[in-house]
A and B are shown apart, each in its own frame.
Chain A
Amino acid sequence: MTDTTQTTQQPDAADILLSVRGLSKQFSTGSGPVKAVEDISFDVRRGQIVGIVGESGSGKTTAGRCLLRLVEPSSGEAIFDGVDLFSLPEKALRAYRRRLQIIFQDPYSSLNPRMRVRDIIGEAIDTHGLAKGAARQARIEELLTRVGLSPEHARRYPNEFSGGQRQRVGIARALAVEPELIIADEPVSALDVSVQAQVLNLIQELQRELGLTMIFISHDLTVVEYLCDEIVVLYLGRIMEQGPARSVYANPRHPYTRALLATAPVPDPTVRRERVILQGDIPSPLNPPSGCVFRTRCPHAIAACAETVPTRETVGSGHSVACIRQAELVETYQD
């Protein structure tokens, strides 16, 4: 591994804002149960950004929704500041709602088309009784300015804005309650490429200035690399690989992570990357492959992959991989 892992990074318990353990979510459908998320565990430290990466259908959005109890998780726990969010009754959860917020992927459907911007942001303020009258008005204007809009925008309806501006309104709404943790669910993937960078910069800026802790959900590894401290790679609801961003990027150990990285463009033309092109689509979660769920698309799959469900093996400080062949494959990975 790289030399940076030499320094002992013993996770400091007080440092961890959210600790997710064994999060699973099953949906019952007409044709049987679907395991959208299966036994996910990870920690989010204060002030850090954890990236959850995966293709569509990997369960990353469901995992995020579960953490906010927008979708009820089937099992597991999420210890937020010492309290298990999953076992809180709805009433008690309400107090925690203020501390965890979400930024949505689609800037169009995430704003009520019949509410003016000031009412959208104001609703957040009112729900938790944070400000009234002139203070409320001032707070709305401050939030708008903070996300790069102007106070005059308060009286407008969402349809009068561009996608990037709408996303800024969504961010302002999330910030209105001064949350400690923000889950950003693909916040830029619905935006034009030219606007993506602006919104990403805004998110990063806000994160630094306000000391926010974030879970950043994305299918785009370049975006995650740019922002995140930790990375969790999901495939079909299972964790394939997780660890510090630097370590995962420098030494991707799971064939799936390698494939994802291979699809990401590299700004340096002299860098030669292995070409791994995944065949086919992500399998149906209704009928997941036996053993390792990735084996049907894995270029390195062998018979044993169908037999055993891979356990998490530690390959570096905080870096772990779920692949039975990771040790032998590592030699073939020399670029």
Chain B
Amino acid sequence: MAAASASSVDSPRISTLILQRKTLAIGLAIIVVITLLAVLAPLIAPYAPGKLSIVNRLKPPSATWFFGTDEFGRDIFSRTIYAGQLSLLVGAAATALAATVGITLGLVAGFFRKADGIVSRIIDAMMAFPDILLAIALVAALGPSLATVIVALGVVYAPRLARVVRASTLVIRELPYVEAARALGVPTWRIMTRHVLRNLVSPILVQATFIFAYAMLAEAGLSFLGVGVSPEIPTWGTMIAAGRQYVGQADWMTIFPGLAIILTVLSLQLVGDGLRDLLDPRLRKDL
């Protein structure tokens, strides 16, 4: 979101700029394909994700079942693309939440000495817990549901962003251009957004892609452990969890949802890298 507004400032051919960057173009292409597959799952999927067919259980991948079938004869391909809906939703929503909370806390902590003591202590305390443990605790406390998983992951990953933002804020607020703004009498909130936040777009984006990836993995982990969304709902995590018992006889049950996770995470990283280059005017020679 921040990315779009920062880069669209009178640059005439944003599409050309993107296409010039291979990693960004490839990453975006994969993300778009994955998102389309997930969103259009009802149209694309050859079978309903919950359709049982006991006679066809544990069939290997073939022309009929692209990714094979599971222990109940459900089509893995259909389930994988349906599962993408939830996995992407959880990842995106958790990242958005983590970004909102983390950026606000980080800016406040980096800018106001007094707030810093308290905020930094809380951040440290939260980061002392392993991610998944804290998420489990939060989900357990709030009661398992899709919304709780999102909130829990958002809360768990907010400190990562807060820390990055705080550290960079501490550096930037001492730079002469911030001093120049203060000498001009520019209000603090505007210094925070225009001078500090705008220069943090790259680290925030990079961190956000990581968090998106982590959140998806964590959601898979929570589902795998049975504390996430209900096991009947297909997510890549619940699918891998289910496939675990059959990994010797039907490894496609775990491989395909696993590949989906890897591909999504990888493309997110490519997009993050590419955007970082695109948004850095020092690397932008073509304007």
Contacts and interface: CB of A to CB of B under 8 A. Distances in A.
Interface of A: 65, 68, 70, 93-95, 97-98, 100-102, 104-106, 109-115, 123-124, 127-128, 155, 157, 159, 170, 173, 177
Contact of A97 (B183, B199, B281): B183
A109 B281 contact: no
B186 interface: yes
B176 A106 contact: yes
Contact of B183 (A101, A111, A128): A101
B265 to A, nearest CB: 29
A97 B201 CA distance: 29
B281 A70 contact: no
Contacts of A114: 6, 198-199, 201, 281
A173 B6 CA distance: 23
B131 to A, nearest CB: 32
A64 to B, nearest CB: 11
A39 B171 CA distance: 30
B30 to A, nearest CB: 29
The 5 closest A-B pairs by CB, nearest first: A97-B185, A110-B176, A94-B185, A104-B176, A112-B177
Interface in B257-287: 281-282
Q: Interface centre among A65, A95, A106, A123, by most B CB within 10 Å?
A: A123
B182 interface: yes
B185 A157 contact: no
B177 A68 contact: no
11 contacts: A70-B179, A95-B185, A98-B184, A98-B185, A104-B180, A109-B177, A112-B194, A113-B199, A113-B281, A113-B282, A114-B281
Nearest to A185: B176
A184 to B, nearest CB: 13
Contact of A157 (B179, B194, B198, B281): B281
Nearest to B176: A110
A115 to B, nearest CB: 8
Given A110-B177, A113-B282, 14 more contacts: A97-B184, A98-B184, A102-B180, A111-B177, A112-B195, A114-B6, A114-B198, A114-B199, A115-B194, A123-B186, A123-B194, A157-B281, A159-B281, A159-B282
